[in-house]
Homo-oligomer: A and B are copies of this chain.
């Protein structure tokens, strides 16, 4: 049975594995200070078009989130997120474990807005309440939607005005930056946010997220902070080599594009089948609303998850494609969707 459950079911892209194998018996410096990590960082800086950012490779997304949030907030400060934000719902309190409250606002199509942030600021007025100091967004969002350049710029300007740090979780940045509706570049993001990461785990690597510190004030002592949270791998070069493979040319973006194209095909079929969507489709996560009967029938042939109950007869499901999704699997799903819609 083919799985559209998530984008972390398979291992790594063949070229990533190949480079791991090639360099396997080299003796590398430990803790991410090796030549592969350095080279990978240079490649990424080139793609960003900036030399003045600091890059660190961190094993996982939750770990990156808790590390960033706890490193740049003072104890009494909180982070603002949409209520569907990964840090709020799906990290088992990992951010709170570092002592910081996550204050939430309802998302609009999964996205945060300056108005949403403003509402939190209005409500947090004195020392009896946590002090908002960081804004957390993700691109793509948990609902597969993306921030346009105008939207991200509006948030960025608002944050600068209010002296809030802006943190962009890019676990699925490859899909965001290569989708049709996108008008953001890595360079834009680096100018608009204080810190962001470029997800490897969900786009061709065995593991690893490339954290990019854009704000000068964030750079000091960051390796201490990584180690302090248990996020520094002895064999940091394992991540360095993988990002080297992903960024020495355009592999990273090609993989994102492939995931999006696979999703697009499914989305088209869904549109044609007259299905509606729980959130605007456009990237590698689709949330069509299906009848429970359709869901049951699909579940006999494909693996996917239920996102939310919509009414007594319908639910939103989640189909996720990835760099590894095969065309034939997509076609099989489409065939089934068409079949079921015509019944």
Contacts and interface: CB of A to CB of B under 8 A. Distances in A.
B93 A228 contact: yes
Interface in A64-104: 65-67, 70-71, 74-76, 78, 89-94, 96-102
Contact of A234 (B130, B202, B226): B202
A40 to B, nearest CB: 15
A265 interface: no
A230 B10 contact: no
Contact of A99 (B25, B99, B224, B237): B99
Interface in A211-245: 221, 223-235, 237-238
Interface in A11-51: 11-12, 14, 17, 20-21, 23-31
Contacts of A238: 11, 206-207
Given A25-B10, A233-B60, A90 B17 contact: no
B101 A99 contact: no
A286 interface: no
Interface residues of A, number: 76
A129 interface: yes
Contacts of A90: 128-129
A203 to B, nearest CB: 12
Contact of A24 (B12, B29, B102): B12
A307 interface: no
B10 A224 contact: no
Contacts of A202: 234
A231 to B, nearest CB: 7
A94 B11 contact: no
A231 B237 CA distance: 19
B9 A230 contact: no
A201 interface: yes
Contacts of A60: 59, 230-234
A62 B10 contact: no
Given A11-B24, A225-B75, A238-B207, A100 B93 contact: yes
Interface string A272-287: 0000000000000000
Given A61-B234, A228-B97, A10 B30 contact: no
Contacts of A76: 92-93, 221, 224-225, 227-228
B130 A92 contact: yes
Given A20-B11, A21-B17, A206-B238, A129 B233 contact: no
Please provide the 6 A-B residue pairs with the shortest distance between their CB atoms, ordered closest to farther: A63-B230, A11-B24, A76-B224, A9-B27, A127-B223, A8-B234
Given A93-B101, A207-B235, 12 more contacts: A10-B24, A11-B23, A17-B20, A25-B324, A62-B227, A75-B98, A75-B228, A76-B225, A91-B227, A97-B228, A127-B232, A130-B228
21 contacts: A5-B30, A9-B30, A14-B24, A17-B24, A20-B206, A59-B59, A59-B60, A60-B231, A60-B234, A62-B232, A66-B230, A92-B224, A92-B228, A93-B99, A94-B229, A97-B228, A101-B102, A127-B227, A207-B207, A207-B234, A230-B230
